[in-house]
């Protein structure tokens, strides 16, 4: 994914933002400033809510970067090159060159991101106590929201379907159990298609039941996951057919 804004190259990894991440920033800031923070703590001027909301939305992007950076550093530990880390509308992407050398490596690379998100949530929850003692209600509310969002990020990413981390972890376990990397990845991709369709249908049901657009984001996210997983499944099928054709040609050349 092409980066619109480049942030640096920690450990040789190009880190940046896609322009679509600005859409999420605006939506998060608006939701926090207009609804969530005023409901959690009152007595502040509208400008204070907007400024604080922009800061907390930016901190959530930092947390997303930490999630993807953990994947990248785990991949580097196993000798893989990381082409880039990019944040965009639906989260973040760490693009890797090469394949993990064994199932354990694939599993640990997949789990590194959710582990980083849970660790970030733990630090934020520890920081809520001092904010409360200082009677900094707005800071306390924002830190609590950030902690919850990091927990949600970790749990959501562990759902068992590619391209989510849980799908990669599922593929690693199947690879270890069956000894077939390609079959494991195909199973994870199929699970991702099913998961995405279930999410999209759930969002549609929510919108119909509430007669609102409450489920629109779930529909879009489910559609995206199903589309990416389907593309991965198709790519794996093409690779398998290519290997079958080459194997058949090799057999035909034997005397």
The catalytic residues are 68
DSSP 67-107: HHHHHHHHHHHTT-EEEEEEEETTEEEEEEES--SSHHHHH
Q: Can you spell out the DSSP letters for 230-248?
A: HHHHHHHHHHHHHHHHHHH
Confirm if 98 and 72 have CB atoms less than 8 A apart: no
Residue 217 exposure: Cα atoms within 13 Å on the Cβ side = 7
Which element (helix H / strand E) includes 35? none
């Amino acid at each position: 994914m092409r980066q619109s804004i480049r942030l640096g190259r920690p450990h040789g990894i190009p880190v940046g933002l896609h322009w679509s991440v600005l859409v999420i920033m605006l939506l998060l800031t608006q939701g926090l400033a207009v609804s969530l923070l005023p409901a959690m703590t009152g007595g502040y001027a509208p400008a204070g809510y907007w400024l604080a909301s922009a800061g907390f939305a930016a901190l959530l992007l930092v947390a997303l970067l930490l999630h993807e950076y953990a994947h990248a550093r785990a991949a580097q530990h196993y000798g893989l090159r990381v082409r880039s880390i990019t944040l965009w509308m639906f989260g973040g992407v760490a693009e890797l060159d090469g394949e993990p050398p064994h199932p354990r490596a694939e599993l640990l690379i997949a789990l590194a991101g959710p582990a980083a998100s849970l660790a970030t949530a733990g630090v934020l929850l520890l920081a809520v106590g001092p904010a409360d003692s200082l009677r900094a209600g707005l800071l306390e509310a924002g830190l609590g929201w950030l902690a919850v969002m990091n927990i949600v990020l970790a749990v959501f990413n562990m759902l068992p379907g590619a391209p989510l981390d849980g799908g990669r972890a599922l593929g690693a376990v199947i690879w270890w159990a069956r000894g077939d990397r390609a079959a494991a990845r195909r199973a994870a991709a199929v699970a991702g298609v099913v998961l995405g369709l279930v999410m999209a249908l759930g969002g549609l049901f929510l919108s119909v039941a509430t007669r609102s657009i409450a489920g629109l984001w779930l529909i879009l996210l489910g559609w995206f996951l199903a589309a990416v997983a389907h593309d991965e499944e198709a790519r794996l099928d093409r690779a398998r057919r290519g290997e079958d054709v080459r194997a058949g040609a090799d057999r035909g050349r034997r005397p």
